[in-house]
Structure formats: C-alpha cells, structure tokens
Structure 1
Amino acid sequence: MGGASTSKHDWFEMDVSNKRQKNRLLRYECKAHLIVGIKGDKWAVSHFVAEHTHPLMPQPELVRYYRSHRKIPEEDKDLIMTMHDVNFSTSSCMGMLGRVRGGDRRILPYVKRDVSNFRSKLRQNLNLRDMDFTVQYFERRQAENPQFYYAKTVDKETNSITGLFWVDGRTRALYPKYKDCIFFDTTFCTNRYNMPFAPIVGVNNHLQTVLLGCALLPNEQIETFKWVFQHFLLAMNNEHPLNIMTDQDKAMKTAISEVLPNTVHRCCKWHIQQKAREKLGKIMSRDEVFEQTFYTCINDSDTVDEFEENWQHMIHCFDLVDNRHLCNMWKTRETWAPAFSRKCFFPFTSTTGRSEGLNSYFKTFALLRYRIERQAVGFYTRNVFGKFQAEVTASTGFVMNQVPSPDIGSMRFGLFSNYYEDPKIFTVNVVLAEETFECSCNCFEMNGIICAHIVRVMVHLNVQAIPQRYLLERWSERATTPTGASGHLLHFALPSNNTLKYNSLCRKFTWLASQTRSNDVACKILNDAAHALEPIILAARRGELPEQREAQQQQPDQHQSTTQGGRQQTTRGPTHQQKQPQMQQQQGQKQTNRPTQQQQVATTPVAQDTTENPMLHNPARVPKKGRPTEKSRRRK
C-alpha cells in the first residue's frame, strides 16, 4: 500500500492522494531595501537597493495578502475591540472597517482571518483576566456615573477576588420608592467558580421585577451575608428596607437580624412547602386528606388565631403531635406562615391568589362601571389596574349584611361569597368621617390596593372616590417619573481612557445639542462656544498653551504624552492588578487527567499586556451547598 491510490471507473480515472498539499514559501534572498537616517535636522536616505531577485506582483491590490503586509493598524485594533465588546460578528467588523477606509473591505491591508485571530486573542485574554476586567469595567462605570456603586473583597494571601457587590445608579434613585418590599435569594445559577449569584430585587409600579443590587458570594455564611447587607445599606444611603423575603437559611436570618434589625423578615412559602413535601412525602402519599388539610391550614388561614387553631387540630386529628418536622415548622411559624404577614407589605406574592388567566380575561373585557374605577385607571399603572379591576369584578360575588358596631360613629359589615357552600365571613369596619376602611383580609396592608370586600362596601355606601390614603404612589405612573435633579448625562468625572474620554464628551455635547434644537438663542450660544473652543483645542493638541509649556519645563522627564502624526498616545501609569483565581476541585469530584478549561487557556499563547503589574485573581471555586446541578434542573 502506497501513499497514493488509483480508482478506475468505466468513464474516468481519478487519482486520489492522501498526502496533504503544502504551500511552499520560496526564499529568493532579495536584497532590495531602503535605509533612512537623520543628518543634522533632516531625514535623509542613506542607502537604497532597487533591484529585486524575484518578479513583482502585477496587481498592487493583491499585495495585502502577503504575510509581511498583513498587519492590523493600531487605530483599527481599537475599533475592532469596540465592536468586539458589543458582540459584532467578524463579517460585520470587516464591513464597518471597510466603510471607514472608503467603503470597500477589499482595500483593507488585512483579511478576515486576521481579524478573527485578533478577536480570538481578545477572548483568551478575557478568560484569563475576566475578574480583573470586571473590576476595570466597574471603575469605568463609576467614572462615567458616580452614582454607580461597587465593593469587592480580596484574599490577602492569594490576591484573588472572593466577593463582589454592585448597584446601578438608576437603581439607587428608584430604591426610596421601592424599599417597602425586597427579595433576596441565593439559589440562582452559579458561574464556573461555583460562586452563588445573589440578586436583591424589588417590585416596581408596573408589577415588574426591579434589580436593586447583585452580589457574587464566596460562601453562604453569616459574615458573608452581613457584608452584602452592610454594603447594600451604604449604597442606599443607610435606608433600611421595610420588608424582606428570603429562603429558609439560618445564616441569612442571623445576618438580617444583626444588620437590618428594623426590617420585617419573612421566609418564602414556596421553599417551606417544598421542604415539607420532602419530609412529609410518605405521609401525604398515604393520606390525601392530610395533604389537603395541610395546605388548607397554611393558605386559607386569615388570622393568627385561626392558623394556630387549625394547626393544632390537624396534628391531633392525624396523630402527628410528635412529628419532628412539623414541630420545627411550628417553632418558626412566624417567619413563613401567611397569617403572620397579612399586615406586612408583600404585594401579590401569595400562591393562593386569583387565577392570572381569569384576571387577564376580565382586564380585557370588563367595562369601567364605577367612578372609583375611572379614578383608578387614571392613577394606577396598567398591570396594577388589572389587579384592581379584578377585585372590582370579584366584589359582585359577595353578599353583604350590616352588623352592629361596638364603636360610635363607625359601621361594620359582614361579607361572604355566594360561590361556596361553606363561605368564609369577612368583616369591614368603616368610619366615613375619617374615610377609613379596614378589612379582616388585610389585602391593602399586604398588596397595597383595596380588596373586593372594601370595594363592595364603597359601592353600597355610594362612595364616589377612593381616599388618597388608599392610593399608594408606588403603584402610580408618577413613581418612575424622572426628576430634574437626576442629571446622569452631565454629572460624571472625565475618564482616563482615551476611548472613554471620547464617548463621554460625545454624550455631553449630544445632550447639549438636543437641548438647543427648539431654541434659537440656546443654539446660537452653543454654536458660538464651539467656534471659540476650536482654536484653543487645536493649540492644546500642539502643546502651545501656557500651562502646557510650564508643565514641560518643570517636569521634562515625567512628560507622558507624545504626539506622532497628529495622533496622541498616552502612556498609562502603573495600576494595581490582581491575579487570576486558583481553580479548586469540588468535594466529591473524581480526579481526571483531562486538563481543566483554565489550564487549556493558560497553555494557549495570548496577547501580552504592556504593563508589568500583578493581576487580579479570579475567585476560587466554592462548594455548591446543596444547589441542584444543571442536569437535574433540566430534568425538572
């Protein structure tokens, strides 16, 4: 068997070779060159050889394919990096670079493969320094907008990141309006370092989730949670949230009690019921009546006394007084039972609410029959008004009777639904002189809108308008109206990076131009100022300003800016960079000879940084502490 074989057919003969064809580079030892030097004060050609030992390229536009000519200029690299950061494809980058060069990508002194290789180096460099670049990104964000807040913890021994926390400037402006209810959870997906991602979220006036803050945690211990909440308070001007809901974590509970002592802490009911299914699954599978009674006791108890009475009746009826898990649930009932949080503001978080599909149906087809609905549609956001209109629709299904009131000047009404055989009775206390309506269901205290029972009483008493105390501004359109004092476009420091300087000034002058488009006087002022600044800026580029000359005379050796061909190049001073994280093996993970992702990246040549400084280490992997794997999450 040789390296080549011949395959014969009836109509042709094909030569098949399994040898790889090589593109040979012929060396002609060409001596053509040009040497330029300085003689006196002028440049001069000192030596020139014009004879070539090889034929020249007949088409000059194809010279760019030579390896010696295929180089990406520095200015094009800056543009490629900018497009790479916003996820441009390589083809799109080539098209944009061709437009900058005159409209055709074929005139570029490099090819698509060169751009692709350069972007690969950028990705490899990012993999090795992802945490260092993250901190640099936070610093740029803070330079552009001083309202941006971030904090980090660094291991002194390994110089690696162990924790990150950041809050956006827009979020800090919205927090005073949405601090009445926040949620904190660490069960979200993790990164390759197994650091839990812990977002702090709230609910805006459109019933949408608002990201108030984010954290990457090294572990789930008390000190870690205390660090997060302390920096959260620093970012929010030490304004404590009114209510917070978390999962059932002892370390988190301890940290909240120490850092947020004035905040009402409740545990997520879903986690409680999920754990109950694990611990009581055998009992529930054998007795469906117990399962129904268990969930009815939790979800349908409106008062604390009712919940405690139903709970004691349940454990005695099913002979579960000594059940260990039920005893633990009873000891911590104040943190998770909905009956204890009826008067706390946790809007629309209960799973026992009305069907969302039915609410959407009513919101689409129901008419505005009452004046209070017309008032609400002009005040609430669209999503909140849908909730309110569902309450109005549900109010028509209640039978109301007036009952004696113990207080003089007040009225009391008893309401029950006519849809159930054994309806529950709700009580509404009314003081018309003070415009107060209090219902035993505590819907307003919990969700921030009046319930169907109060709506039924208002319609019966011919109340024409909802009292202002029952119209929370956080559910209105005005809650997110920008104020004149925000000024995010103008109130930020000038960054040190050249690209950031350019982007920062572009945003400033674009904003100024937008303010003058409908005012001729303002437009003239801005135009005159631009003409006045033009000669000053050109003089500054040439270094002819008096302050520049004085600085050059005083510090000639420390001058860091040089001008070459009209392009300013700034040399960065030494910046403190920290190292990459050390990848650690998880507990229970088998040893393998296959190199890890970081080891593969580390052995790949990457673009070297020009600054010889210690680099920020990425965080080390931490144990998962019971979080489900990606495979198990997909199965669910």
Structure 2
Amino acid sequence: MDLSDNQYDEVGVDNEQDDNETIEEPKVGMTFSSAEEVWSYYMKYGKQKGFGVCKRNSKQGDDGNVRWFTLVCARQGTSKSKAANILKPRQTEKIGCMARINATLNDEGGYTLSKVNLDHTHVCSPEKARHFRCFKKVDARVSKRFKINDEAGIRMKKNFKSLVVEAGGYKNVPFVEECRNYIDKERQLRLGIGGAEALCNYFRQMQKKNPDFYYEMDVDDDLKLKNVFWADARSRAAYQSFRDVITFDTTYLTNAYNMPFAPFVGVNHHGQSMLFGCGLISNEDTHTFKWLFESWLNCMNDQPPNAIITDQDKAIQLAISRVFPTSRHRFCLWHIMKKLPKKFGSHSRYEEIKSTLQKCVYDSLSEQEFEERWCDLLNTYDLHENAWLGSLYSDRHFWVPAYIRDTFWAGMSIAQRSEGINAFFDNYVNSRTTLKQFVDQYDSALRRKVENEAVADFNSFNTEIPCISHYPLEKQFQKAYTIAKFKEVQDELRGFLYLTTSLLECEGGKYTYIVADEVQVSDELIKRANYIVKLDEDLLEVNCSCKLFEFRGILCRHALRILTQLGKSTVPSKYILDRWRKDIKRKYNFVKSSYEATSNPEGQRYDRIQNCFYELCSNAAKTESNCVKLINQLEQLKLEFH
C-alpha cells in the first residue's frame, strides 16, 4: 500500500457523512482493517470537529507494506515565507498545531492507533471545515456534469453556479469555485476513436522522413494529451523568409467543425497564405496559449515575428505580451466592427451610431483626428457609460488604423487570412471529419498549397501583365515584382485619375504637396480626403500621410503621382521590397517537405549536403574551439563555392 501525497493529499476519499452521525473520538488502541479506513475515519472526525487533515509521514517495510503512518491537523508544521518582499509576507495556514494520530500495522494486517493527540493550538470551526483542501471533493456525478457543461461551452462560473443552486447553497457544495483546476486537469484533446494514436503515428512518420519536422506534446498528470504543436521542415524554412508578420486565428475550424485548431499563418511573395505551424488545443486560456506560443517560438529558433495579428482576446493578448514582448500586436478590425449590430442593434439611433463610428475608425488619418471624433461620438449619443466602447478605447493602440499604420503588416488582415484558411482546407475538412481523418487530409492540403505557389512562381517568370501607363517606374515594378503584387501597384496607378495635386512648399530639393483623393465607397458614395506627400531629392525619400507603404509595403498612388509629376523615371530602391520580388531564390524552396517527395535535382542535392552537416555541426558544437575552427573552415568554403 502506498500512502503517497497524490493519493491522499490532493482530494480526500469519500468523506460525506450523515449530519446526525457522531464520530467517536480517537483513542489509543482503536483498530481498523486498512489504512484507507483509518484515513476515512480521521477525515470524518476532522470535518465534525472543524479541522483539516493531511498525511505527515510514513514508513514502508521490506515487504512493501506500510509499517506505520501519521495523520495530522492541516495546520501542523511551520512555513517559511517565500515572498520576494519581506514586508509583504504571504498568508499561511501552518502554525505548528500538534494534533495527530499514529497508526501502526498490527498482526492481523490491519492498523492500530498507537498515539493520539487531540489538542489543537487554534480554534476549530465545523461550519467552515468545508473550505479545507482535503474536503474539496468532486464526486463522479459532479465530475460528469462538469465535463458535459464544459464540452457544451458553458463557462466555469455558470457551470459552478448551477451546481450551487442544485445543492441548495454554497454550504452544501463540497468544493469551491476554484475547482476550475479540476476542469483544467480533466480537459484533454477530444480526439475521437484512434485520434491520439493517429497523431503520434503521424508525427513519427513525418520526423522519420525529415528530421527537421518539429512537434511538441503537452500531457497532464495522467499522461492524457492536452495540447499539441507541429511544423514541417518547409514551413520552418519559409518562416525565415517571411517572418515579418503572422496571424494567429483559433476561430475557423473551432467554430465550423468543433476542432480546436490553432494555425500560425503568414503570407508569401505572392500574397498567398502560408502555414508556419499549427496546434490542437484543449483550452483557450492564457496558460494554454503561452505553452503554444513558447512551443512555436522554440520551433522557430527563438525568432519572434515582427508583428502578429489576432482576434481581440484577453487570454491571447496576455500570452503574447509574455512570450513575444518585442512583437507589435494588433487586433482584427473586422472582428471588432462586426460586433456593432450585437452591441447597438437595439439602440434607437443605431444607423447613426454605426455610420459615425465607422467614419471615426476608417477616416481618421491621425491619432488626434481619431481622438476628436471619438469624443464627439460619445458626446453626441451619450455613450460615455458604454462599457464596450470604453474597453475598445483602452485598447485603441491595438486596432485603430490611425495607431497602427506605421507598422508593416504585409497587407494582412485577419479576415483575409481566415478566408485563406477556409480555402486552405476546402474539400479536405467537413463537419463529420474526425481528427484521424484530419491528419490524413492535412498533408493533402499542404501539398496543394505548395503546388499553388509553384504555379504562381512559374506564371510570374513566364508571363507578364502589360503596363497600363508609359511611366518607366511602372516597368520597374513589372520587372521586379510577382504578378500578384504588380497588380496591386497597377491599382495604385489607376487611382491617378482621381487625384489632384497642389504644391504646398518647396525648399531646395525638398517638396511638400497636398494630394486630394476621391475613393468610391459604394455606387452612391465617394469619400474625399487630403494627404500630405513629402519628397526629399537628396535623401531619395518620399513619404505620404496615408502610410500605405509602411502598412502594406506597396507605394501609394499619392507618392507615385508626385514622383511622376516631378519627372522621376525610377523609384528609389528602398521602395522596391525584396519581400515581393520574383527574382530572389528563397532557401525554403530547396527544402524537401515531410509530406512530399521532391523530384527537383537541385533540391535533392541540397538535402544530401544538409544531411552531411547534421552530425558535423553536432560534434563541433561541443566545444568552443571546435566551433570556431569549423566556422573558419566554412568561411573558406564559402569563398570557394561562391
């Protein structure tokens, strides 16, 4: 018999008793048939008297039987403060109480009480005894209810309250709301029949095909799978080329197919979605997201993204601040604005509020302009006490365009990327798909994605979109950019039709222009706005107040118009981003994926060379001298094979 802490300390054995039952006081010589009976008896006695019970120590014989053990009051012993600030010590229940019983193995194989101390050094309260940890018991019926409600999406707070009402009050509930720890422990990936085994087999097969396949598995104390993360070799290599911006969206497959799928998505030089790893998670709290983000960061060699886009979620926000403190975090504007009907749909002036809020958010070109319009919104419709708007204003640096335009987002919004993920798994996942089937189909979806990129690469090199103007700078973009991105440049050039420019200031080679723009929002609505464009001929810099280049990496129509107006035949090289170029060889194209057999001879040679380096790097990394020696030799080889 093993009297381990796990068996007795965490959750007591069944200790419920009839309210009218009187438990006899412990005395030396009392006998019990087993250690469990001793424990059960002393638990009932402790609850009747008003003190908690825990195991102090025990001794096991050579035959494996426990020779003796001690059960004590929960307030026994002393506690040394571990608080960082000695002026703010943490609370403790340890005060050195000596009440206890000693049970010794007898000749019949049972246990006899050999020592008894009934004196407590504190006040015992039977009414409050239920708050001791040993009495916080979750029985089978309650456990089942918790699990069902949790799977149905009922939040922990309501889950607990329903049981309080059913029991007739808090005093009749043998646990407290902190039983959320129990739910967290019980939560595991609901994988379906054969799901866990299929996942493990899949990971082993992928890693066997390519040692750069990466995965991590998170299990609970009972070795039940809670969360998993994985990324194939090609995705890991592609991240090195496109690590500037990612989106993290848990809503698509979770909502559509009840599959807790959490993908990390980026965008390539064609503007196509790329999967940079993904997870399956059992919970959506800060602890789970922190585990997932740390797994992903470890997979990507501790290189965080420059920027990350997520839904507005406090748990995700907190996890990102801890794991990616240097990354610029942005909320999905689309997810926020789609909540308007729910928040104000019943308001008598809903349409006015909606229109005013949209203008405030979308038309404000500066932070000051947004602040003024937001203040007018609250004043006009008396919305100062609206909690939702209050929370949005507090988080304005995470979602309002005026505050985030100065950061490069590669043209990504979470709405567009979610649509990309939808298309990513079209024809591969449906509402009846099990995890085992999903694993089988996952590779097919990735293979199609690689093929789509290969086709786009081919088209960008072997076809071209004719220029729509006679400006040489358009030819410059046509020659450098992929077709998808060149089309975006042409969209800006078409906008020249709606621009009017006026020189505001000119000093030496520095120009300042006002550019008036007209954008058709709908069949009946045209939005007009003025932008400031500054050009410095000496520094070869052009900046526009719309900040499209900073935001999307595409030079805006306003800046392009001023360049052409001043007779500039080329765009400064800093405005032709390598990220969108079609003529750059990116290393991930030479990496064989775990899910595809390469027929590319160059890729095969790359793999052969890379495999030779695995053992070499591992051995050289053991000492600093070998590391330096290898690096020097590699530098010589780089010159030879340049």
Q: Which has the higher contact order (CA 8 A, sep 6+)?
A: 1
Residue in structure 2 matched with residue 138 of structure 1 by the alignment = 203
1:281 is aligned to 345
* 2:573 matches 1:468: yes
Aligned mate of 1:450, from 555, 568, 581: 555
Tell which structure's C-alpha radius of gyration is larger: 1
Find 1:262's aligned residue among 326, 329, 332.
326
In structure 1, C-alpha distance between the alignment counterparts of 2:584 and 2:315, rounded to whole Å: 34
Tell me what 1:271 maps to. Answer: 335
SS in 1 for 2:543: strand
Contact (CA 8 Å) 1:171, 1:212: kept in 2 or not? Answer: yes
Asked if 1:391 corresponds to 2:492, the answer is: yes
Amino acid at match of 1:268: C
Task: Determine the C-alpha separation between the residues in 2 that align with 1:309 and 1:218.
Answer: 43
Question: Aligned partner of 1:447: which letter?
Answer: R
The residue aligned with 2:304 is 240
Q: What pairs with 1:116-195 in structure 2 (closer than 5 Å)?
A: 128-157=193-222, 159-190=223-254
8 Å Cα contact 2:467-2:478 kept in structure 1: no
Q: How does 1:375-390 map to 2 (within 5 A)?
A: 375-390=476-491
Q: Following TM superposition, by how much is the alpha carbon of 1:299 offset from its aligned partner in structure 2, in angstroms?
A: 1.0
The answer to whether residue 522 in structure 2 is matched with residue 417 in structure 1 is no
Instruction: Name which of structure 1's ranges 306-315 and 247-256 shifts more when overlaid on structure 2.
Output: 306-315
Change (3 A) 1:352 1:166: closer
Q: Distance in 1 between matches of 2:257 and 2:494?
A: 51
2:283 partner amino acid: N
Alignment partner, residue 274 of structure 2? 210
**Aligned in 2, Cα 1:286/1:509: closer, same or farther, shift over 3 Å?**
closer
- Runs (5+) with no aligned partner, structure 2: 1-190, 417-463, 521-525, 606-642
Judge conservation of contact 1:301–1:307 (CA < 8 Å) in 2: yes
The answer on whether the counterparts of 2:241 and 2:586 sit within 8 Å (CA) in structure 1 is: no
Q: Distance in 1 between matches of 2:600 and 2:393?
A: 61
- Counterpart CA distance in 2 for 1:342 and 1:184 is 20
- In structure 2, do the counterparts of structure 1 residues 176 and 265 end up closer, same or farther at CA, with 3 Å as the change threshold? same
SS in structure 2 opposite 1:189? Answer: helix
How far did 1:138 drift? Answer: 1.0
Counterparts of 2:232 and 2:399 in 1: how far apart (Å)?
31
Task: Give me the whole-angstrom Cα distance separating, in 1, the residues matched to 2:402 and 2:371.
Answer: 9
Taking the aligned partners of 2:247 and 2:465, their CA distance within structure 1 comes to 30
Contact kept? 1:174, 1:480, Cα under 8 Å: no
Matched to 1:136, the amino acid is N
**TM-aligned CA distance change 1:192 to 1:318, over 3 Å:** closer
Give how far 1:324 is off: 2.2
1:232 match: secondary structure: helix
Amino acid corresponding to residue 288 of structure 1 in structure 2: E
Residues 480 and 183 of structure 1, relative CA distance in 2, 3 Å threshold:
farther
CA contact (8 A) 1:397 1:418 kept: yes
Which of these residues, 371, 377, 380, is aligned with residue 472 of structure 2? 371
Cα deviation for residue 241 of structure 1 reads: 0.3
Query: What is the CA-CA distance between 1:416 and the residue it aligns to?
Result: 0.3
Question: Are residues 1:334 and 2:435 paired?
Answer: no
Q: Sequence identity, in percent?
A: 34
Cα distance in 1, alignment partners of residues 603 and 356 from structure 2: 67
Report the TM-score, using the length of structure 2 for normalisation. 0.52
SS at match of 1:347: coil
TM-aligned CA deviation for residue 466 of structure 1: 1.3
Contact 1:221/1:252 (8 A) holds in 2: yes
Question: What secondary structure does 2:308 align onto?
Answer: strand
1:195–1:219 contact (8 Å) kept in structure 2: no
**Aligned mates of 1:510, 1:365 — CA distance in 2:** 31
Normalised by the length of structure 1, the TM-score is 0.53
Q: Secondary structure at the match of 2:338?
A: helix
Q: Give, in angstroms, the shift of residue 342 of structure 1.
A: 0.5
- TM-fit CA distance, 1:369: 2.2
Corresponding residue of 2:366: 303
The residue number in structure 2 matching 1:429 is 534
- Tell me, yes or no, if structure 1 residue 401 matches structure 2 residue 466: no
Which amino acid is 1:437 matched to?
V
What is the rounded CA distance, in whole Å, between the counterparts of 1:375 and 1:267 in structure 2? 35
Offset of residue 434 of structure 1: 1.2
SS in structure 1 opposite 2:274? Answer: strand
In the alignment, the residues of structure 2 paired with residue 237 and residue 345 of structure 1 have an alpha-carbon distance, to the nearest angstrom, of 22
Q: What's the counterpart of residue 228 of structure 1?
A: 292
- 1: distance between equivalents of 2:350 and 2:477? 46
Q: Deviation at 1:338?
A: 1.1
* Contact map agreement 1:345 1:445 (CA 8 A) in 2: yes
Tell me the CA shift for residue 236 of structure 1: 0.9
* Distance in 1, Cα, partners of 2:257 & 2:356: 43
Counterpart CA distance in 1 for 2:256 and 2:557 is 49
Partners of 1:460 and 1:273 in 2: CA distance = 38
Q: CA deviation at 1:375?
A: 0.8
State the distance in 2 between where 1:352 and 1:399 align.
32
The alpha-carbon distance between structure 1 residues 193 and 272, as it changes in their structure 2 partners (threshold 3 A), is closer
Alpha-carbon distance, 1:130 to partner: 2.5
* Alignment: residue pair count: 363
* Contact 1:152–1:161 (CA under 8 A) maintained in structure 2: yes
